[in-house]
Structure 1
Amino acid sequence: MKYSKISHLIKSKLIENKSINEIRTHFTSGEKLVSSFLKAKKRNGTETEKNSLKTLDTYGNELSKREDLIDFSLFGINEKQTVSGVFQRAASKTKWCHFFYFLSRNDKETNILEIGTNLGVSGQYFIGALCDNNIKDSNFITFEGVPDLCKIANERFLKISEDKNCNYKIIQGLYEDTLHQVDDFDIKYDIIFIDGNHKYKPTIEYYEYLLNHSKDNAVFIFDDINWSDEMKKAWQDILKTNYSYSIDFFKMGIIVIEKDNHLKKNYNLFLTL
């Protein structure tokens, strides 16, 4: 794994400018995605964006100090973990969260779906961007099985979205029991973040199901594509489907689907592990 990370980093750095130029040139969504990547990498942005990110970043510090327990018995195990422990083990890194924020910034209605709320670390950046967009009909929908995680995430989401145009909904329950509710919302999504079940079969099933609920130029984000043999296989099989371009960040993989554009170009970039 360590060798693969280093190899990916070197390869990405050597062809980064070429990849960026191609993405910008050949794809309608390319400028938006590249701009989001570069802003997150270089910690750039407008004053509004910088101030928002500064506020959102404080949440991680709060979680890292919490010793209250989260009950994971939903999965049939008699186990409780501290909030700080879950945060250290499972939360998205800050650079990735900044990328999510910039990717979600828009001057039009933006709808986002996430599978795997956890403590709401990544979710608050999606919501924060929708709040800054200030577009009334935008939505963030997120799914999580563990009740304690839903409660903590909801407290955070309420705090940052109060009195603002950034609608959100947390769906609690096992994904196999709740994901069908996507049909009830009658929403087409711009960004879909799949981070809830790092196994081959569910990852493929979520992707195939949510394809029918995505907009033109939709961005699918898959977390931990090199975390296990199952996730490596899932990512390789996803690359056999129809799409416009993919970006392998090593930790995360992105698939972008543009209407009537099936070039199926594949790129490697590096943000952080």
Structure 2
Amino acid sequence: MNYLKENQDGNLPIEKIRSTLLNNTNQIQVLDLGAGSKKVPNPSREIRKITQYSTSSTKFCLVYQYFCNLTSSQTVIELGTCMGISTRYLAEVTKGRLFTFEGSPEILNAARFQPFPQQVQAILGPIESNLEPLLSQLEAVDFALIDANHTYSGTITYFNWLLPKFKKESICILGDIHWSSEMEAVWEEIKSHPKVKLSLDFYECGILFFDYPGEKTHRILSL
């Protein structure tokens, strides 16, 4: 992908924020509302370890940014703020509003040690309580990144809530599609949905398109 080659160092100001977080040894209490973390399962975690193990790499932040930029990006939704690195990458190409959802108060507080860009609205609390009320106020969703909960039930619920708001031109990304048997199962189900016309499996994430000129297609790709 030329976009990755052209931007291989990422966004330097954002990567500086990542570096600061990777050097932050402060411990915070994490409220897990989904499957939790395999690497740092304890509720008390160092910010640097959350950043190391639960934040998308520069490469995949650029992937999310690239596909978001293929849409009109007037309404962008991110489920799973974590340390806000992918949030900041998406904000760079969001032309309207970016709504990012985080369940853990102390994680969101750490992510906002530097203010988010003005187009970002962070929503704190369970996605199960907050997503539907927001969607009821929106005409459409141009781009969505589902990178939270990491259970079958949570992921399929979020996708089904978002689906009526997707346009043909919308793009949806699922993070960690091979993270567990539950995530593999939900990826298989979602990519088989009749409204999904093209799906791309990059192993770490899956890309869903709702408009494609050919027959329904699934591709496994590497970066």
Matched, 1:257 2:210: yes
Aligned to 1:94: 58
Q: 1:152 to 1:208 in 2, by over 3 A?
A: same
Identity rate of aligned residues, in percent? 26
Matches within 5 A, 1:29-108: 37-40=1-4, 42-44=5-7, 53-73=11-31, 79-105=43-69, 108=72
- How much does 1:184 deviate? 4.1
Matches within 5 A, 1:76-225: 79-105=43-69, 108=72, 110-130=74-94, 135=95, 138-158=96-116, 161=117, 167-225=119-177
What amino acid maps onto 1:241 in structure 2? H
Q: Which stretches of structure 1, 4 residues or longer, exceed 4 Å deviation after superposition?
A: 106-109
- 5+ residue gaps, structure 2, are 34-40
Deviations 1:40-88 (A, max 9, x none): 2x1349xxxx8x812222121111011122212465x982111001011
Normalised by the length of structure 2, the TM-score is 0.86
Counterparts of 1:223 and 1:204, CA distance in 2: 13
Counterparts of 1:129 and 1:156, CA distance in 2: 19
Q: Once structures 1 and 2 are overlaid, which stretch shifts more, 86-95 or 175-184?
A: 175-184
- How much does 1:180 deviate? 1.7
The structure where helix makes up a greater share of residues is 1
Counterparts of 1:73 and 1:114, CA distance in 2: 18
Q: 1:110 to 1:73 in 2, by over 3 A?
A: closer
Counterparts of 1:236 and 1:104, CA distance in 2: 22
Aligned to 1:227: 179
> Aligned with 2:28: secondary structure?
strand
What amino acid maps onto 2:156 in structure 1? I
> Aligned with 1:104: secondary structure?
helix
Counterparts of 1:229 and 1:120, CA distance in 2: 27
Matches within 5 A, 1:15-26: none
Counterparts of 1:209 and 1:186, CA distance in 2: 12
Q: 1:225 to 1:59 in 2, by over 3 A?
A: same
Aligned to 1:247: 200
RMSD: 2.4
Which of structures 1 and 2 has the bigger CA Rg?
A: 1
Q: 1:146 to 1:105 in 2, by over 3 A?
A: same
What amino acid maps onto 1:67 in structure 2? T
Q: 1:78 to 1:88 in 2, by over 3 A?
A: closer
> Aligned with 1:129: secondary structure?
coil
- How much does 1:179 deviate? 1.7
Q: Once structures 1 and 2 are overlaid, which stretch shifts more, 93-102 or 112-121?
A: 93-102
Normalised by the length of structure 1, the TM-score is 0.71
- 5+ residue gaps, structure 1, are 1-36
